[in-house]
Amino acid sequence: MAGQPKKPGLSAWPAGAAPGPLSEAPRAGKRLRFIYERLLARFGPRHWWPGESPFEVMVGAVLTQNTAWRNVEKAMANLAAHGLLTAEAMAAVPDETLAGLIRPSGYFNVKARRLKALVGTVLSLGRGGREPDMLAMPLAAQREALLGVTGVGPETADSILLYAANLPSFVVDAYTRRLLSRHGLAKGDEPYGDIRDWFMRHLPPDAPLYNEYHALIVTVGHQKCGPRRPDCPSCPLNDDPLLDPRLAGAVATSGKAFG
């Protein structure tokens, strides 16, 4: 209605002034921070990552590759029931036994080998237990060690650094790429390291902030920003002037998402 004040929100960044893909403009950091605050206001704190100990988080980061978390929970329950949630215990169990216990997570033979490689690295760098010595290493050294483990890529390494070691290493996943591309902040196909570094240049080096931000991105990805049929009308970011035109059109007209 004419004369009413504009709704505060992402419209504070009109398209002509907003940062381009992976922009270095100072405004990019402000925009990222606003998106975070809008998601937090809608979804609340997420309390990630599920796990009783840092070592459990490390194991979960490997098991969650290419599967849903509910499957990981079943595998983790099996490991807990057999007393295998320390690096020493997991290193001692036969590979085929480990593979059988983590079967619910899928690709169980591959993941068993990856877990054995991970615990080998953990034990080579100190004690294992539920809080491995490795997690006390500086971020750069620890990340290098993790990336040297067979089957541990950047996303898994950063998940361990952030959620197990409580170090400020931003996690980039498919949900992150989708959000950035749909909101005019990236193309979405940039190298993993470029997107990670961009977040870390434009946000303060704060592990709790990175933890919550990534968890919120996953939440909005699950609940609103699906790959084919996003629910834009009820998304907390639906007033963004940089929203993908196909999505913005769906919001403005029928309310139906494209795809």
CATH of the domain at 103: 1.10.340.30
> Would 133 be classed as within a structural domain?
yes
76 and 134 both lie in a single domain:
yes
Q: pLDDT value at position 3?
A: 42
Assess whether pLDDT exceeds 90 at residue 27: no
The domain boundary residue, chosen from 164, 189, 223: 164
61 and 132 both lie in a single domain:
yes
- Take residue 144 and report the two structure tokens written for it: 């290098």
CATH number for the domain that contains residue 33 = 1.10.1670.10
- Check if the beta carbon of residue 158 is closer than 8 Å to that of residue 172: yes
220 and 179 both lie in a single domain:
yes
The domain boundary residue, chosen from 114, 133, 164: 164
133 and 180 both lie in a single domain:
no
Distance CA 34, CA 241 (A): 14
What SS3 class is residue 51?
Answer: coil
94 and 160 both lie in a single domain:
yes
The domain boundary residue, chosen from 108, 139, 164: 164
Chain-centroid distance, C-alpha 156: 9
Distance CA 15, CA 27 (A): 12
- Summarised one tens digit per residue, pLDDT across range 59-87 is 999 999 999 999 999 999 999 999 999 99
Range of the domain at 221: 24-46+173-252
Q: pLDDT value at position 249?
A: 67
Q: Calculate the alpha carbon distances from 142 to 90, 113, 129, 135, 166 in Å.
A: 21, 20, 17, 7, 12
Q: pLDDT value at position 139?
A: 98
State how many domains the chain has: 2
42 and 77 both lie in a single domain:
no
Distance CA 206, CA 241 (A): 28
139 and 155 both lie in a single domain:
yes
157 and 217 both lie in a single domain:
no
For the chain, the maximum distance between any two Cα atoms, rounded to a whole number of angstroms, is: 72
Continuous segment of H or E residues that includes residue 258: none
Distance CA 104, CA 185 (A): 37
Q: pLDDT value at position 31?
A: 84
- Summarised one tens digit per residue, pLDDT across range 167-208 is 999 999 999 999 999 988 888 889 999 999 999 999 999 999
What pTM was estimated for this model as a whole? 0.88
Assess whether pLDDT exceeds 50 at residue 112: yes
What SS3 class is residue 169?
Answer: coil
Q: pLDDT value at position 239?
A: 85
3-state helix, strand, coil split of the chain in percent (to 5) is: 55, 0, 45
Assess whether pLDDT exceeds 80 at residue 235: yes
